[in-house]
Amino acid sequence: MLEKIVGGELPPVILVDFAMFSVADTMTTLMGVHGSGRAIYRVDAVQDLETHGAMSIDRLAELYTREIAELAEFASPPAGVLGYCSAATLALEIANRLGDGGHAPQVVLVEPTWLTTDLIGQELANLRTSLGATGDPPAEITPASVLQTLTGDLVTKLAAEGMPESEIDTCVTMLTDRYAAWFGFLFATAEAAVPTPRTPVSLVISGDSDKEPAPGWTPAQCALVRVDVPAGEFLGSEAVRRQILRLIDQPHERHQEPRHEHR
């Protein structure tokens, strides 16, 4: 479940990320380069849900924390935990558990999204658009209705492209397994309570981002760190990577004012 992305001599970092449905950059692309001196380990909850079936955020965090503790390289807690977008809640849950022993890792959440059913509906709409679907969305956004809708969209798309009927079922099954894991993760995240940070959290956002702290968080619990890089270039930016590494290296402190970093 834990995958080593890059090696290094400095205390390692846990990256909570997921493979996308496209060739778009991910946090793994951004952080998985040599030169920082830090080992980067990735957990991909969507891949694990596809393999092992549905799990809650609490259960995923428990399993990942246990696996991290069993690795020899983690004789002490990791230096930091990074979470991207919808993985913010899981990343924070893992970080809180890793900090139970006293020494808490730095927590850096990149473009965090605090999921709701409405946002999951928007994700479904975006995915359907990419598939060229034109039918009505489901009346209610649930795991079953989402998967049923996407299955129909896929069958329609593949048939229109001329794929033989004998191959459509196999292709649809492979794709819907991935969709089921992805939306299973989103629904599990929306159902989970966002953990309260035990130490100050840094939220790294792009120059044109409207991302905000989770509802109820105070300035003492988190700080927005805006990097002047457009959202479309964010996960390919060396400036963003350097900023994240600086935040991992800093001592814990109480955040008071939002910061603004230049490219």
Picking from 76, 93, 138, 87, the residue whose alpha carbon sits closest to that of residue 111 is 87
* Of residues 67, 86, 61, the one with CA closest to residue 12: 67
Residue 262, pLDDT score? 44
pLDDT value at position 114?
96
Q: pLDDT at position 25, please?
A: 77
Would you state the pLDDT for residue 76?
Answer: 66
Q: Which of 58, 119, 106, 136 is nearest to 225 (CA)?
A: 106
Q: Is 108 helix (H, G, I), strand (E, B) or coil?
A: strand
β-bridge pairing 2-6 and 38-44: antiparallel
Q: What is the pLDDT of residue 99?
A: 77
The CA distance from 32 to 261, in Å, is 22
Question: What does the CA dihedral 183, 188, 190, 191 come to, rounded to 10 degrees?
Answer: 140
213-235: per-residue pLDDT in tens? Answer: 999 999 999 999 999 999 889 99
- Binned at pLDDT 50, 70 and 90, residue 260 comes out as very low
**CA gap 68, 59 in Å, rounded:** 14
As beta bridge partners, residue 10 has 38
Q: Name residue 2's beta-bridge partners.
A: 43
Per residue in 106-134, pLDDT (tens digit) is 999 999 999 999 999 999 999 999 999 98
Inter-CA distances, 172 with 154, 156, 166, 178, 262, Å: 6, 10, 11, 10, 45
| Per-residue tokens: 129 | 């658009």
Q: Tokens for 233?
A: 């270039």
